[in-house]
């Protein structure tokens, strides 16, 4: 069945809550582990339909945020899901506090219980109304950003489509595109300021209601950080500054010298080579080669790609009103991943295809695991970012004689991304540790750390950006607090898969499969150990990874 043919029927919140309460009573009164598991399996099968309908509604809303029906459905879930999550967290108590827990731990992964204990704390009924308000504010941000049309060269261009100009070979094109893009943010600065201020306040209130000084501890609970702490992230940040910032700076200085620029402006930072590597062919041709790649890569990846393609579970064309980012989600009843992207003719089209398919591959594997919790975000991002590098043997089919330029751009982009991603997390940490900061103080802090972590470039002369507002284009800061550092931890890990694949691709892919197969059954740091990968929280790891990348890039 095609995704477009799936019948949508809104699951009633009250019925779902009544069912969860009924299951909670049955689990509490279970006389044996076997009886407990029988109730669990029946409920999971039934709740799968609720998850499928909620996911389908979000997919259709994000395909067209101006669709009145699905916009109302999204509003419905914004209000319903916080109540549902509270009930699910109470249901989790039945697992965590079960007299049969020792027997259940032989069936379920231990990490499930660790995550459930966090969920119980994070979804306390005391903060229900604040969670509803938070969801509504996030949806308001999504709508605002998806409705932006950038006035550029006499055209009204959807916000995400502007990205194709940022790596253009013509420096004046890049400059004018970035300025137009940034002006669109500047024009909406009051709305963006107000939205973020309200989000910071409501999240801080949630944290304080639960007995914390602010939001940060709650944010870490929500991100299911079971194996590392705020102090570990601080160590990671310090090592990024000590080892990766110098590497990124050396790389960007090489590019600047090769290009003959006197000064490196922000609009230059997406360029790594004289010739811009662009995928050739139509969208259909890109997918045809994608099919070839995934069939040759592995039987499992080939079968999954075919199943998704036949189900029309890819939507990659940018258009007015469409959600501006990219994502992979899943329709549990059909065990079917769905990928949304916004192709714009740049090398990022191939990055997003391989990245999101890495998520899809892991989603498909997760469907085979009976677990009430999902894989943690940093682990999930290893699945996707590593797939980007493991696609290298087939990249020539997308880029032809620009293949080497693509690889240099891609690896260079990974290196320069980690300092940027670290800034995003650092900024959020400062904001939530000091929730009474003014808008101006937030922007000043962002400007300060941007200069520390990205010392090779300037934002002078760019609306919004020169005043420390570049963070306002980063949807994660609004919608998913503390998520972005997961990308950095994952990118650091994916660079290890890059280095391994350069020596022995088949061995690297088998290690990748092992990493994906562990999925949600172990936490992040334990999974790294099982796969003989380096921890991002150790200084020696940075030394090894930086040396490996320098050798690959020959810089």
pLDDT in tens, 345-399: 899 999 999 999 999 999 999 988 999 988 999 999 999 999 999 999 999 999 9
Q: What is the pLDDT of residue 419?
A: 98
Q: How far is CA 89 from each of CA 46, 231, 486, rounded to the nearest angstrom?
A: 17, 27, 24
CB atoms within 10 A of CB 247: 22
Instruction: Write out the DSSP string of 161-217.
Output: GGGGGTT-S-HHHHHHHHHHHHHHHHHTHHHHHHHHHHHHHHHHHHHHHTT-SSSHH
Task: Look at residues 164, 191, 188 and name the one whose alpha carbon lies nearest to residue 177.
Answer: 164
Average pLDDT over residues 217-233: 95
pLDDT at position 159: 86
Q: Return d(Cα 49, Cα 26) in angstroms, integer.
A: 20
Q: Where are the alpha helices (DSSP H) in 13-109?
A: 13-28, 33-63, 68-96, 101-104
Question: What is the rounded distance in angstroms from the CA atom of residue 294 to the CA atom of residue 299?
Answer: 8
Could you read off the pLDDT of 11-69 as tens digits, one per residue? 999 999 999 999 999 999 999 999 999 999 999 999 999 999 999 999 999 999 999 99
Alpha-carbon distances, residue 424 vs 172, 181, 269, 348, 382 (angstroms): 28, 19, 17, 20, 19
What would the two tokens of residue 197 be? 């201020």
Distances (CA, A) of 426 to 180, 236, 249, 354: 27, 11, 19, 28
Do the strands 155-158 and 336-343 form a parallel or antiparallel pair, or are they unpaired?
unpaired
Residue 436 near residue 412 (C-beta atoms within 8 A): no
pLDDT of residue 437: 97
pLDDT at 325: 81
The pLDDT assigned to 221 comes to 95
Evaluate whether 290 touches 387 at the Cβ level (below 8 Å): no
Q: What is the pLDDT of residue 206?
A: 98
| Section 232-245 average pLDDT | 98
pLDDT at 146 exceeding the cut of 90 = no
What's the whole-number mean pLDDT along residues 151-164? 89
pLDDT at 555 over 90: no
Percent of the chain with pLDDT strictly greater than 70: 100
Condensed to tens digits (0 to 9), the pLDDT of residues 290-335 reads 999 999 999 999 999 999 999 999 999 988 899 888 999 999 999 9
CB atoms within 10 A of CB 8: 13
CA distances, 170 to each of 174, 248, 407, 538 (Å)? 7, 23, 20, 41
Q: What is the pLDDT of residues 167-177, one digit of tens each?
A: 899 999 999 99
8 A C-beta contact, residue 73 and residue 9: no
User: Taking all residues of the chain, what is their mean pLDDT, rounded to a whole number?
Assistant: 96
pTM of the model: 0.91
Element (H, E) at 336: strand 336-343
pLDDT at 161 over 90: no
Residues 456 and 46: their CA atoms lie apart, in Å, by: 54
What is the C-alpha separation between 449 and 468, in angstroms, rounded?
A: 10
Task: Show me where the domains of the chain are located.
Answer: 3-119
- With a CB cutoff of 8 Å and minimum separation 6, the contacts of 257 are none
Token output for 44:
């999971």
C-alpha distances (whole Å) from 373 to each of 44, 104, 522 are 11, 14, 11
| Count of Cβ atoms closer than 10 Å to residue 189 Cβ | 16
Whether the predicted pLDDT of 233 surpasses 90: yes
Contact 450, 466 (CB under 8 A): no
Query: What's residue 363's pLDDT?
Result: 95
């Amino acid at each position: 069945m095609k995704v477009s043919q799936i019948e949508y029927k809104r699951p009633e919140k009250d019925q779902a809550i009544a069912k969860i309460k009924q299951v909670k009573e049955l689990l509490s009164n279970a006389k044996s582990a076997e009886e407990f598991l029988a109730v669990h399996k029946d409920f999971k099968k039934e709740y799968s339909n609720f998850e499928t309908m909620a996911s389908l509604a979000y997919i259709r809303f994000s395909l067209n945020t101006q669709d009145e029906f699905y916009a109302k459905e999204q509003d419905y879930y914004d209000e319903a899901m916080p109540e549902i999550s509270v009930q699910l967290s109470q249901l989790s108590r039945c697992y965590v506090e079960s007299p049969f827990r020792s027997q259940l731990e032989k069936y379920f992964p231990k990490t499930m219980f660790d995550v459930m204990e966090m969920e119980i704390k994070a979804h306390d009924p005391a903060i229900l109304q604040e969670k509803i308000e938070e969801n509504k504010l996030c949806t308001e941000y999504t709508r605002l950003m998806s409705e932006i049309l950038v006035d550029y060269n006499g055209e009204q261009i959807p916000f995400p489509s502007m990205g194709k100009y940022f790596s253009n070979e013509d420096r004046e094109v890049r400059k004018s595109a970035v300025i137009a893009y940034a002006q669109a943010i500047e024009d909406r600065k009051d709305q963006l300021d107000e939205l973020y201020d309200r989000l910071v306040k409501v999240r801080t209130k949630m944290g304080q209601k639960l007995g914390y000084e602010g939001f940060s501890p709650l944010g870490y609970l929500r991100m299911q950080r079971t194996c590392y702490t705020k102090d570990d992230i601080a160590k990671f940040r310090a090592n990024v500054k000590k080892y990766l910032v110098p590497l990124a700076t050396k790389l960007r200085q090489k590019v600047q010298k090769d290009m003959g620029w006197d000064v490196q402006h922000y609009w230059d930072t997406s360029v790594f080579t004289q010739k811009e590597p662009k995928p050739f062919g139509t969208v259909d041709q890109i997918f045809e080669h994608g099919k070839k790649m995934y069939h040759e890569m592995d039987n499992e990846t080939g079968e999954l790609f075919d199943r998704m393609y036949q189900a029309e579970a890819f939507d990659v064309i940018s258009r007015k009103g469409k959600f501006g980012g990219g994502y992979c989600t899943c329709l549990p009843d059909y065990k079917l991943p769905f990928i949304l992207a916004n192709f714009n003719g740049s090398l990022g089209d191939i990055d997003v295809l391989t990245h999101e398919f890495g998520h899809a591959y892991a989603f498909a594997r997760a469907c085979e695991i009976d677990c009430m919790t999902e894989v943690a975000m940093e682990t999930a991002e290893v699945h996707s970012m590593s797939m980007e590098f493991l696609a290298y043997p087939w990249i020539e089919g997308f880029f032809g004689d620009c293949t080497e330029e693509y690889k240099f751009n891609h690896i260079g982009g990974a290196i320069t991304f980690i300092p940027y991603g670290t800034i995003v997390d650092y900024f959020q940490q400062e904001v939530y540790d000091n929730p009474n900061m003014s808008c101006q103080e937030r922007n000043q802090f962002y400007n300060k750390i941007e200069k520390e972590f990205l010392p090779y470039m300037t934002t002078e002369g760019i609306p919004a950006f020169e005043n420390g507002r570049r963070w306002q284009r980063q949807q994660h800061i609004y919608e998913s607090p503390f998520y972005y550092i997961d990308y950095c931890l994952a990118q650091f890990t994916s660079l290890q898969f890059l280095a391994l694949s350069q020596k022995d691709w088949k061995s690297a892919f088998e290690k990748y499969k092992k990493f994906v197969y562990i999925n949600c059954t172990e936490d992040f740091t334990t999974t790294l150990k099982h796969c003989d990968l380096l921890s991002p929280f150790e200084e020696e790891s940075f030394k090894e990874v930086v040396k490996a990348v320098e050798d690959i890039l020959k810089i």
